[in-house]
Amino acid sequence: MRWTIKPIPEPKEIENLSKELKVEPLIAHLLLQRGITNYRQAKSFFRPQLADLHAPFLMKDMDKAVARIESAMENQENILVYGDYDVDGTTAVALVSSYLQESYANVATYIPDRYSEGYGISFQGIDFAEDNGFTLIIALDCGVKAIDKVEYATVKGIDFIICDHHRPGNELPDAVAVLDPKREDCNYPYKELCGCGVGFKLIQALASKNGETVQDLLPYLDLVATAIGADIVPMTGENRVLAYYGLQVMNSNPRIGFQAIINQLKKKQLSITDVVFIVAPRINAAGRMEHGQHAVNLLKANDLEEAQKFAAEIEQFNSERRGLDQEITEAALQQIQENKEEDRCTSVVFKENWHKGVIGIVASRMMETYYRPTLVFTKSGEKLAASARSVKGFDVYEALQGCAPYIEQFGGHKYAAGLTLLEEQYEGFKKQFEKVVAETIDPKLLTPEVLIDARISLNDISPKLMRILKQFAPFGPGNMHPIFMSEGVIDTGYGKGVGEGEKHLKLCVSQKGSKTIGAIGFSLGNKLDIIKNQQRFDMAYTLDENEWNGTISLQLKLKDLK
């Protein structure tokens, strides 16, 4: 890994903020790195307020969206709430449909089938709407590029409201309203909402017209927090406020569907990390292995017994997903080795029978091995479909634009995208993608980076420091767990490989004249030689708590050693 120490704030700034907030200089240092320079900003960072959320009508087209929904209700029209099959889409569908159904009965939900319809709005979904008398579709987490689909719906007398957060193309669909903070002509102050977040702004706007406040919408925030965590959007601004309150709901009074998942986990308190790595994969597994509607059914369940049945089904899907993901990852890595492609700037692999539902996870797993922009292709109907993942700092969406002549369709973000192409274009695309990436990527981005917030000594670590750092949560892009570096430490002699195949590293460290503290390094078992025979080494780590037999102690979670 590349160790990069973040810019150190000016000593005078640290001293001033430390005095103003009455905190240790280290805390002032960490806050300044997060752009927090005064008491007011620190207060809203440590105590996020619902009042900090922006007025929903600041979003372009929000007035049109609300007016169209109100007229649909007045005229007893049937409304179809349509969303993508991933966590962001299914939570958004559960959120908007649940809210509408509080006061209006003619609402149904639709999640496209990953395999027969693919990502986003489908002609099949529009035909379903026509056949069942729906005259308004609210599309969530998709649709900002669906120009032809919206046109097709218009001919059938069906209106669209689009709530999306993906980057629009040069032209917008001719919908009644296109809510997307990334529209160039949208002046909404916060650009980084997820799809479910845009859905929340829609219900916030509707609620304000009904005399309700954001306080009345608190029960929906467990859905929003889950989407924010799963979609890896920045944990800043509005997202941080929504996630902060959503986690409180999740831990105090979650909806029955989440309760059914949590009951299986036997965890007392969920952090955003638990939501990302435990709750979200289960919701995602429905759309990957069977159908995203299963996830919506779970998230909208009103009866615990029914929810537990849905949760057990989803647990089964998740178990199948794990097995497939492991099997396909091994086959994909083998393909790279057999083709002797270890020295390229990209990983592009294809096998026609790989399960489409897990290729995104496989692309992420391959990144763990080769750390370079990665695409995993499989056969999808007459075409090939792929999931793309990118390394930190490199825009894979831009790179795909450089391969446009070979691609049928693509969409996504800087770090994750999806595309389809004709099979005969695969080899040409693969060469072009390698060429575009090789010409545009900074070679250092092909080595993973650990960004270090501060150098500290082991004596700086205390329960008080841990208590304050916990208040930096929820963590995510733009507000990551602080990473510290300590130099010249030694293992006290108990360091060893642990876990299956001794893959992980467990040790107890000390520094000249310091106390000792336990440390765990997941997937760092291969670094055992660095710590042997009381050799001195440097370590990068986050602070963590270890619970054992009811006792909680501080431990270091190692990122890297050298």
Q: What average pLDDT values come out for the chain (562 residues) when binned by 10 residues?
A: 95 97 96 95 94 97 98 97 93 97 96 83 96 98 95 97 93 97 96 97 97 96 95 92 96 91 79 89 79 88 89 85 90 92 92 90 92 95 92 93 92 85 95 96 95 96 94 93 96 90 94 89 92 93 87 92 94
CA 290 – CA 314 distance, rounded (Å): 9
Q: Does one domain contain both 203 and 227?
A: yes
Whether 351 is in a domain gets the answer yes
Q: Exposed, middle or buried by CB within 10 Å (0-12, 13-18, 19+), for 37?
A: middle
Q: Which residues make Cβ contacts (< 8 Å) with residue 319, sequence separation at least 6? A: none
Q: Does one domain contain both 287 and 376?
A: no
Residue 506 burial (CB count, 10 A): 20
CA 286 – CA 414 distance, rounded (Å): 25
Whether 358 is in a domain gets the answer yes
Tokens representing residue 264 in the block:
């299986």
Domain with 561, as residue range(s), is 450-562
Q: Is 86 helix (H, G, I), strand (E, B) or coil?
A: coil
Q: Does one domain contain both 517 and 410?
A: no
Whether 327 is in a domain gets the answer no
pLDDT score for 117: 83
pLDDT score for 561: 95
Structural domains of the chain, count:
4
Integer CA distances (angstroms), 466 to 272, 481, 518, 560, 562, in order:
17, 11, 15, 20, 25
Residue 211 burial (CB count, 10 A): 7
Q: Which residues make Cβ contacts (< 8 Å) with residue 451, sequence separation at least 6? A: 4, 6, 480, 483
Give the domain CATH number at 543. Answer: 2.40.50.460
Cβ pair 331, 351 in contact under 8 A: yes
Q: How many helices (H) and strands (E) does the chain have?
A: 20, 19
Residue 420, strand partner residues: 385, 409
Question: In three state form, how does the secondary structure of 481-515 look?
Answer: CCCEEEEEEEECCCCEEECHHHCEEEEEEECCCCC
Q: Does one domain contain both 504 and 386?
A: no
Q: Does one domain contain both 138 and 235?
A: yes
Whether 62 is in a domain gets the answer yes
Q: Does one domain contain both 429 and 477?
A: no
Whether 189 is in a domain gets the answer yes
From 426, 446, 466, the end of a domain falls on 446
From 407, 425, 446, the end of a domain falls on 446
For residue 464, the surrounding DSSP H or E stretch is helix 463-470
Q: How many CA atoms lie less than 13 Å away from 30 in the CB half-sphere? A: 24
Whether 329 is in a domain gets the answer no
Q: Does one domain contain both 429 and 348?
A: yes
Tokens representing residue 485 in the block:
């570096």
Integer CA distances (angstroms), 12 to 16, 17, 507, 530, in order:
6, 9, 37, 38
Give the domain CATH number at 96. Answer: 3.90.1640.30
Cβ pair 559, 533 in contact under 8 A: no
Whether 391 is in a domain gets the answer yes
Q: Does one domain contain both 365 and 514?
A: no
Q: Does one domain contain both 427 and 543?
A: no
Tokens representing residue 209 in the block:
């017209």
Q: Does one domain contain both 423 and 504?
A: no
For residue 31, the surrounding DSSP H or E stretch is helix 25-33
Q: Does one domain contain both 433 and 465?
A: no
Whether 205 is in a domain gets the answer yes
pLDDT score for 414: 84
From 446, 480, 495, the end of a domain falls on 446
Q: Does one domain contain both 417 and 460?
A: no
